A and B are shown apart, each in its own frame.
Chain A
Amino acid sequence: MTIRDQQPSRDSRFAVWIGTTVALFFVGVLIGFVWLPSAQQNAEGLDLWSAICRAIGLPTVSARASAPLAAQPASTVAWTTATRRRLAQGNAVRGAALATTCNNCHGENGISTDAAFPNLTGQSADAIYKQIEDYRSGKRNPAVMGVFVSPLSEQDIFDVVAHFASLPNPFAGGSGKTGSADTAARNLIEVGDPQRGIAPCAACHGPLGLTPGAPGLRGQQRAYLEQELQAFAAGNRRNDIREQMRVIARQLTSAEIAMIAAHYSSIANSSER
């Protein structure tokens, strides 16, 4: 092999290859940040500088302008860091003392004995907090619950929430009838029906995914689930933040609602209490 020099300064390959790489970089920059953005049809009227900003990822002035809010929000609850911090600071022991009133309807261990009242065990702190707040603000019909939640102070609410969230969850193990994919209820719950715009229940309520504030449904009371789905479908209940429950429930037939409610409540029956 021939070798002219061992000194890096005299090895011209460095200059050639680094130069080529740098040239490639600048050609890429020119195409990616100038030519492509400015050549796009929807960029008509966009000046070069705005086009470059957009390609870089700098938010442009027009993108920052937001439309004025006209509609009323479906709920006043927002999952901010502050809300989460307050939720984490609830005192479960104090909450247990406050919860004696709740237990009259929702049951001693958060498992209701009346099928019209929901179980509170197995729910996340988010889920219970959101419903209490919605009853207080009137976003959910306060006919029954209003009288119980309105005297509570902010701290009372966080404590009661902490109490119920700390109860052992008898419905957590397994997913009920594993392997019974062929039932229509499980198909709706785990696959949904894309043609009717029905997302699978499990995508927000678990176990596939979890949306903050979405309640757990495993083991929930059958009559309660049915009544709430009907209320969403009829538009009588409107505290779903992005209207997703109303959209889905409207698409479900009464038979399907009954089936889903039966499936979720059956998970309680199949597990040890």
Chain B
Amino acid sequence: MQGSSRLVLAHFWAAFAVFAVMIPLGAWQMLVRSPLHRWIDPELYYRAVTAHGTSLAYIFPTLVAMGFGYAVCAVSLGRPMHGSRLAWVSFWLVIGGAAIAITTVAAGKATVLYTFYPPLLGSPFYYLGVLIAVIGSWVWVGLMVSHFRLWKRDYPDLPVPLAMFATTAGALLWAWTSLGVGAEIVFLILPNAFGWTDTIDPGLARLLFSWTLHAIVYFWLIPSYIGFYVLLPQAAGGRLYSDKMGRIAFLQLLIFSMPIGIHHLFADPQIGAGFKFLHAVFTGMVAVPTLLTIFTICASLEIAGRLRGGRGLFGWIAALPWDRPFVLASALSLLMLGIGGASGLINMSYALNSTVHNTQWVTGHFHLIYGGAIVIMYFAIAYELWPRLTGRPLALPKLVRLQLWTWFGGMLIATLPWHLVGVMGQPRRMAYYNYADPALAPQAIWVSISALGGFVLVVSAMLLVGVLIASHSGPSAAIPPLRFSLAINPPRRLPWSLNSLGVWTALMIALTVANYGYPLAQFLFFDSARVPTYSRQAP
């Protein structure tokens, strides 16, 4: 892989190491707040939630996106990467920042959950750790943009390969969206956590956090979508239906992911209702690139199925090579994306949101769409990359399929009842519920089933790590190099609009300013309400 194998492997191993520790912690949380367990000290529960969320929302996907970004850069551009020393610096910044943050949480000094919502505040080292990790990822953003530009300079008449185009779009999106939480930490939280200010504006902090909170999901999602476009058609034995459609989808994700974060603040009394509506409209637009992707991927799979001899309306589905991990994972991912997307449309609808706001529905939703649809593609990408990175074939193919099936099954068992109890009114983020209360008793069975799903996921996570270790330590073999799928009509030249990101990034920034400008100004200039902070230290 053009000399980048060690770099990519380090990112993936670090990501899966974090994953292997934090998944059992998540299952434990589901258990202790279910009727299957006695109540525990809420401090321990919240500490565990903080560690689980911080690791799996900030560290794990960032490492996967970075590692996969380097792989895409090397494979799609077909030449060695420059700046690998910087890439290692960036890697160690993310690891170091994560270590600082998680140690602080483990010591009980930052039990703030993984969202940064003052006036609840933890130790400054927690926030510093997260900030260092984010700064590390910005180095990666710089490297991706620089490779994109250099390649365009060297080959001005050729289309930038789709995978690199999408990776750079994801990097630019991350750079811009992470500024929200970065500004919140630097300007509001750290001065207070270090004791330089004695009050904080929670409304402004929430708004800045919402700047990051939604587009970060699309930063997590983009590696999975890249997998759909450039790895799946080839794994299925076919070709990509349309290269241009992929570019349009990634451009729409870049533009529409940002000006929508206020849909997390629908219940916030400090934000004007007009802005909430406007953000809901643009959130609806994000469904468009997802639908385009589902269409293109299904069309590509149909091509593969028919090339493999499938006939009739649905015969091509049976003809697909379901024993290949990437094909199986993609189908399971699309199923979870369908259900999770539908529940997401309910969350983002201004009117329907009020019925599920702050209930377990929301946690069920983001576990299904992120932990399910997105993360299962991270597994598939790892299985696809592993032989190329280690020079050894993927071991235990049956266990690989079992791992994917158990992740899918476990995630549905965990999240569908989770959604249901949300609709039944169970609030999220509580350490315990009194199921002896007749009003809550009907939820008990569903919460118990959901907790069992959590343990299926633990088994699946252990299978994943087992397969990756076994593959890494197996005998060497000649492995064909990784290639990305070709489109049916590979573009030889592309119009400027589908081969450049500058204007689209400017449009994303302009839309963000239009949709966030006044609410920000409102907090900064007219409506500041500063309050003292507190930490969750027991009295």
Contact = CB atoms under 8 A, between A and B. Distances in A.
Contacts of A179: 38-40
B493 A28 contact: no
A27 B277 CA distance: 11
Contacts of B441: none
B498 interface: yes
Interface in A167-187: 169, 172, 174-175, 178-182, 186-187
Interface in A206-225: 206-208, 210, 212, 215-218
A84 B495 contact: no
Nearest to B197: A81
B273 A37 contact: yes
B492 A1 contact: yes
B42 A24 contact: no
Interface stretch (A5-13, A143-151, A230-238): A5-13
Nearest to B519: A57
A21 interface: yes
B539 interface: yes
Nearest to B493: A3
B496 A18 contact: no
Interface string A78-118: 01010011001000000000000000000000000000000
Interface stretch (B2-10, B50-58, B396-404, B526-534): B526-534
Interface string B509-539: 0010010001100100011001010101111
Given A21-B255, A172-B539, A13 B497 contact: yes
Given A36-B277, A56-B518, A85-B198, A1 B539 contact: no
Contact of B500 (A8, A32, A54): A8
B41 A178 contact: yes
Interface in A58-87: 58-59, 79, 81, 84-85
B460 to A, nearest CB: 30
Contacts of B539: 122-124, 169, 172, 205-207, 210, 215-218
Interface centre among B43, B244, B270, B434, by most A CB within 10 Å? B434
Contacts of B497: 8, 11, 13-14, 17
Interface residues of B, number: 57
Interface string B421-443: 00000000001101011010000
Interface in A127-154: none
Contact of A7 (B491, B492, B496, B526): B496
Interface stretch (B278-286, B341-349, B478-486): B278-286
B434 to A, nearest CB: 4
Contact of B496 (A8, A182, A206): A8
Contact of B275 (A13, A57, A217): A57
A98 B530 CA distance: 34
Contacts of B42: 175, 190, 202, 207-208
A217 B492 CA distance: 74
Contacts of B534: 210, 212
A11 B198 CA distance: 54
Contacts of B498: 13
A11 B275 contact: no
A124 B539 CA distance: 7
Contact of A81 (B38, B489, B530): B530
Interface in A8-49: 8, 11, 13-14, 17-18, 21, 24-25, 27-29, 31-33, 36-37
A191 interface: yes
Interface centre among B157, B199, B244, B538, by most A CB within 10 Å? B538
Interface of B is mostly: loop
A190 B432 contact: yes
Nearest to A57: B272
Interface centre among B38, B271, B434, B495, by most A CB within 10 Å? B495
A81 B532 contact: yes
A3 B507 CA distance: 24
B186 interface: no
Contact of B434 (A52, A57, A187, A206): A187
B344 to A, nearest CB: 19
Nearest to A16: B497
Nearest to B244: A1
B274 interface: yes
A55 interface: yes
A197 to B, nearest CB: 15
A11 B495 contact: yes
B511 A25 contact: yes
B272 A1 contact: no
B335 interface: no
A108 B318 CA distance: 81
A196 interface: no
A179 B44 CA distance: 12
A273 interface: no
Nearest to B435: A181
B352 interface: no
Contacts of A4: 495
B384 to A, nearest CB: 27
A223 to B, nearest CB: 20
B530 to A, nearest CB: 7
Given A81-B530, A81-B532, A178-B40, A56 B281 contact: no
Interface centre among B431, B496, B498, by most A CB within 10 Å? B496
Contact of B503 (A14, A31, A88, A181): A14
Contacts of A217: 539
B86 interface: no
Contacts of A191: 432, 434, 437
A37 B276 CA distance: 12
B89 interface: no
Contacts of A8: 496-497, 500, 503
Contacts of B491: 1
B251 to A, nearest CB: 8
A56 B497 CA distance: 34
B522 A24 contact: no
B507 A5 contact: no
Contacts of B434: 181, 187, 191
Interface in B409-459: 431-432, 434, 436-437, 439
Contacts of A13: 495, 497-498
24 contacts: A3-B493, A8-B500, A11-B496, A11-B497, A21-B255, A24-B282, A27-B281, A33-B278, A52-B274, A54-B272, A55-B272, A56-B274, A57-B270, A57-B519, A58-B272, A81-B530, A123-B539, A178-B40, A181-B38, A181-B434, A207-B538, A210-B534, A210-B536, A217-B539
Given A13-B495, A84-B532, 18 more contacts: A6-B493, A6-B495, A18-B503, A21-B511, A24-B282, A24-B285, A32-B281, A33-B278, A36-B274, A37-B274, A55-B274, A57-B522, A178-B41, A186-B39, A190-B432, A191-B432, A210-B536, A218-B538
A-B pairs, top 7 by smallest CB distance, nearest first, are: A57-B272, A216-B539, A55-B274, A32-B277, A181-B39, A13-B497, A33-B274
Interface of B: 38-43, 156-157, 198-199, 244, 255, 270-278, 281-282, 285, 431-432, 434, 436-437, 439, 489-498, 500, 503, 507, 511, 514, 518-519, 522, 526-527, 530, 532, 534, 536-539
